[in-house]
Chains A and B, each alone.
Chain A
Amino acid sequence: MLTERLIGGFVAAFGAVLLLVLIPMEVSDMRGPVNPALFPKAAAWLILLLGVVQILATARTSQDASPMELVRLVILAALVLGGILIMPVIGFLPTAVLMMAAVAAMMFERRLGWIAVTVIAVPAVTFTLFDIVLERPLPPMPY
């Protein structure tokens, strides 16, 4: 119940921020057949009102996640973000190898054969598929 109400509160607060801050800042309010702000405003009002309705919700539909799962999610997201930041510097293949090694470690993989598949074969196959077969250039290594 508390989780459902917190979700409702967060959604309603987001709707209010949209109406009071983001839409006035980021959307032009001008005349025309349909005001460019009409859809964003309609969506924001809907989000605000539905958030309020959700605060009154009685049925629990959310699931729970353990604190450890959330910590691992943050690490995983940070890993992907790290990949985004370093890929232009060191190229696709080294980034992919590092990312795969880190994710395999996060999944507690200790078998050398499977680690080799994940860390070496998967990046190599992905690079071959996109860069060579499909001819979509991926960031090259700088050396």
Chain B
Amino acid sequence: MPDLATILAGAADAATLSNLFFIILGVAIGQVVGAIPGMTILMALAIAIPITYTMDTLTAIAFLISVNKGGTVGGAIPAILINTPGTPESAATALDGHPMAKKGQPMKAMRYSLYYSVFGDFWSDIVLITVAAPLAIVALKMGPVEVTALMVLAFTVITGLVGNSMVKGLIAAALGCLCASIGLDPGQGTPRFTFGSLNLYDGLPLTAMSIGLLAVAEIFHQIAKTTKATAATAPIPMSVREDDGRLTLKDLLANRYVALRATVIGTLIGAIPGLGSATAGFLSYSITKQSAKDPESFGTGDPRGIAASEAANSAVVGANLIPLLTLGIPGNIAAALLVSAFIIHGIQPGPLLFKEQGQLIYGMFAAMLVANFANLAVGQIGMRFWAFAISAPNSVIYPASLLLCFTGSYVTAGGLFGVMIMLIFGVAGYFMRLFAISPIAFIIGYVLTPELESKLIQSVLITRGDPWKVLDHPIAIALLVLSVASIVYLGPRRRKGAKKAVDQPAA
């Protein structure tokens, strides 16, 4: 556990002028992108990673986390104003936010969403800061056999929870595992699937691949589906008046228990790998509605609905870093993208971070707390302006995003090889989306495999190749049993929901 001096030094690092600037910039970008329907936070994160290439590590991580935090606030704006969630996690906010806006109180609804969003996010960060270091100490006590079993469990849980079909989730994870084996193998350094190309000796560039799968695939989808009729759609008229937005402390405190419960739900869901903000928002909304004395008032502009959704979906942002920082397992795709940012700066996420990079981690924690206040301030000032981002034409947004992806891939992968990888995975991602094969399971499979392979090599050396020696590791056995149980439980459960569900990225 880092000492107080390390913690304070980290906090001081986060408070430099340049870091504060990039935190505010990140929050503003996140809020704007979140406010544009069709642009997801994941796209913003994937596009933003190349921009962090020249920043120092803490600035880069703080900037990306700020984009993520800003996106959760921004996503609520179109959900409230035009009943079209800017991001999937804001879908539950629309249920009461939009009716409140229709009653002539759009600013009030947006302010409710801003305050409860920041509240949930802040307390989730506090939980992360409190539990991450002790959990990392426990994680460090696990040997390679236990970690291998833990990763197998992570694979099964994540593939079972993302997407609509566990079979397709496992197919995606297996494809990710296969792609991760491209390059030199970690045991003996022999090339695999390099097809004589020197570019492939280091494996596929994660950033270019993520940009392709998450951003370019979505851009291709949006551009390809455009027709003359949809292109000619008239902009949505909006009226955002300042005088309808008065919100008192009493108004906010009236829903304190709802917000608190939503924060707990969001934090718990965020800490479980594979579940996303959208699940947290809807679960919290549903529980709040069911436990209310007047459930019929929900859906008519009840602020409790906004509090339940926003506090829960924002609480996921901090908590989803718990598995990443303590176990090195990215709990969702935003965490997986942060892994690529860590790797760009030569850092391997996992429990050792607290030991080797304590100052950086506590700097990151401080930056997260600062980003919450920046979210509040930027949201207060900018919300009514971001509302106009909704009316920006797709004919500018998607070509501009495509060019940023193109240039970002060129810059991070050191040339046109990266752009080619981006294009290949952009097309692949389009078809994965079409066939409901989760790109999230793919990327998480890709990120976990190198670590799994190196731990497996260590496990084989420890057990001298005798698989029965695993019986000497009861924790590993328990984790493997849980893996089988998760397949048995989650497989049929996902099949039942498959008819109505559509593959939704977990942010």
Contact = CB atoms under 8 A, between A and B. Distances in A.
Nearest to B172: A50
Given A26-B195, A59-B499, A81-B423, A46 B224 contact: no
Interface residues of A, number: 69
B interface, over-half SS: helix
A32 B187 contact: yes
B300 to A, nearest CB: 33
Contacts of A112: none
B403 A99 contact: yes
Nearest to A137: B411
Interface string A106-143: 11110100100110001100100110001110100000
A34 B453 CA distance: 9
Contacts of B427: 73, 77
Contacts of A108: 226-228, 231-232, 395
A93 B224 CA distance: 24
Interface stretch (B98-106, B239-247, B429-437): B429-437
Given A47-B175, A59-B165, A138-B407, A118 B396 contact: yes
Interface residues of B, number: 75
A6 B460 CA distance: 38
Contacts of B220: 73, 76-77
Nearest to A77: B427
A48 B208 CA distance: 27
A12 to B, nearest CB: 10
Contacts of B403: 96, 99-100, 122-123, 126
B232 to A, nearest CB: 7
B152 to A, nearest CB: 11
Interface in B399-457: 399-400, 402-404, 406-408, 410-411, 416, 419-420, 423, 426-427, 430, 433-437, 449, 453, 456-457
Contact of B396 (A62, A69, A122): A122
B402 A103 contact: yes
B260 interface: no
Given A26-B195, A27-B193, A62-B434, A109 B395 contact: yes
Given A63-B436, A84-B420, A47 B171 contact: yes
B194 to A, nearest CB: 7
A7 B459 CA distance: 36
Interface of A: 3, 7, 11, 18, 22, 26-28, 30, 32-34, 36-37, 39-40, 42-44, 46-47, 50-51, 53-54, 57, 59-65, 68-70, 72-73, 76-77, 80-81, 83-84, 87-88, 92, 96, 99-100, 103-104, 106-109, 111, 114, 117-118, 122-123, 126, 129-130, 134-136, 138
